[in-house]
Copies of this chain bind each other. A is one copy, B any other.
């Protein structure tokens, strides 16, 4: 590692000694042993961010929902399925200098998972009572002791992207929001490119559409600057 630093000239690892937690992917919320509620997140953007941060020298824990993405080099991966499991894994990984909540966490889960597969009956339809999932991003943002220095949320919107994202930043009490438009026509959800807005305390930047790897590298640089 000292050798690495020598060849890299030191500054190539601006996040050395920094601990970062990244969440990525969807969550799956079971309805019964075979059915679940899911979302279209591929996990790609979060995995790219975890990899980019590791390349800048950070100690990265990636808490991942179900996805076919491969673990980036140098990243410690923790696999989870549900929002509750994701929250527990993030809490276990704390403290950290930065937490980046990229995962598309299900807002709701089914109140009581059925123990056996629900059957069609003549009586009609099963009753799915939804309850709200824990809000992982807000939970970290409002920590009174040991709050990470920089808490970043993602906003996947299908309309009024920037307005919704700024409102989300205020509501969640996080520091930054990375917002993108995931409406069907953009091809972003599940695709390889992203076009995001970085919304901070006092600025809004629209980044050009680019590969998710480039978006990740730019965000990692921004984080390194901020923690610098």
Check B37 against A36 for contact (C-beta < 8 Å): yes
Contact of A158 among B107, B117, B120, B132 (CB under 8 A): B117
Jot down 5 A-B pairs with beta carbons below 8 A, ordered by A: A31-B37, A34-B158, A36-B39, A117-B158, A125-B130
Instruction: List the B residue with the shortest CB-CB distance to A182.
Output: B34
Name the B residues within 8 Å of A34 (CB-CB).
Answer: 39-41, 104, 156, 158, 182, 189
B33 and A183 form a contact (CB under 8 A): yes
B35 in contact with A106 (CB, 8 Å):
yes
A161 to chain B, nearest CB (A): 11
Q: How many monomers of this protein are in the complex?
A: 2
Q: Does A126 contact B (CB under 8 A)?
A: yes
Q: Is A184 an interface residue (CB 8 A)?
A: yes
A52-79 near B? 1/0 per residue, CB < 8 Å: 0000000000000000100000000000
Residues of A in contact with B (beta carbons under 8 Å apart)? 28, 31, 33-41, 68, 104, 106-108, 116-118, 120, 125-126, 128, 130-132, 156-159, 182-184, 189
Known contacts A36-B37, A37-B31; A125/B104 CB under 8 A: no
State whether A184 touches B40 (Cβ < 8 A): no
Interchain nearest-CB distance for A67 vs B (Å) = 11
Q: Please state if A158 and B36 are interface contacts (CB–CB under 8 Å).
A: no
User: Could you tell me if B31 and A35 are in contact, using CB atoms closer than 8 angstroms?
Assistant: no
For A189, the closest partner residue in chain B by CB is B34
- A182 pairs with B120, CB closer than 8 A: no
**Measured CA separation A110–B62 after assembly (Å):** 33
Asked if residues B120 and A125 are in contact (CB atoms below 8 Å), the reply is no
A88 CB, min distance to chain B CBs, angstroms? 20
Q: Give A49 Cβ to nearest chain B Cβ, in Å.
A: 19
Q: Chain B residues near A104: list those with CB within 8 A.
A: 34
Chain B, residue nearest A38 (CB)? B38
How many angstroms from the CA of A130 to the CA of B125 in the assembled complex? 7
